[in-house]
């Protein structure tokens, strides 16, 4: 999806313009994003909503990797896009690609490709990754929150 296509969808491509404290930024992965959308569709708060309420004022970002992953399986893409508009969008870069490659080559057991991109993005920008995926516990120096525990 190009920058212009993202703009037509109403998504911000100017991810984060100024980050005061990067560690205060939550990078939402697909498991979190899917849970959040499901909670909003049911109009019933769950673990995803509880995590956001527990961290008021923290900036939230969604990776373009998460967007692609979610839209691949979304039954209601319009709902997904409406929730996406509440978060800044973060893309990938050459620096993130280098970090992703280094991460995968150093882990005894590789992460799934999309998880590796998310971990590399979080590490590159000093974001806290929010996920229910226990595989992230294997990533050295990654700060992550399991929103279901």
Total-model pTM: 0.79
Q: Return the CATH number at 44.
A: 3.40.50.1010
Rounded CA separation 118/132 (Å): 13
**pLDDT mean over 50-71:** 89
Q: Which two tokens stand for residue 65?
A: 């990797």
What angle is formed at CA 88 by the lines to CA 14 and CA 5, rounded to 5 degrees?
Answer: 60
Q: How many domains does the chain have?
A: 1
pLDDT tops 60 at residue 22: no
* Residue in the structure block whose two tokens are 């990078």: 27
CB atoms within 10 A of CB 1: 14
Which of 14-23, 48-57, 100-109 shows the lowest per-residue confidence on average (mean pLDDT)? 14-23
Decide if 29 contacts 133 (C-beta within 8 A): yes
Element (H, E) at 82: helix 77-84
Range of the domain at 95: 3-146
């Amino acid at each position: 999806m190009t920058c212009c296509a993202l703009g037509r969808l109403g998504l911000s491509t100017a991810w984060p313009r100024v980050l005061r404290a990067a560690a205060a930024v939550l990078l939402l992965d697909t498991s979190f994003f899917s849970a959040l959308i499901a909670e909003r569709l049911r109009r019933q708060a769950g673990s995803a909503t509880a995590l956001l309420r527990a961290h008021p004022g923290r900036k939230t970002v969604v990776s373009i990797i998460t967007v692609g992953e979610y839209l691949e399986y979304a039954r209601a893409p319009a709902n997904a896009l409406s929730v996406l508009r509440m978060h800044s969008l973060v893309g990938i870069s050459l620096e993130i690609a280098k970090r992703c490659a280094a991460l995968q080559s150093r882990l005894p057991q590789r992460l799934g490709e999309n998880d590796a991109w998310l971990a590399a993005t979080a590490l590159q920008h000093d974001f806290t990754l929010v996920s229910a995926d226990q595989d992230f516990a294997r990533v050295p120096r990654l700060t992550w929150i399991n929103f279901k525990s």
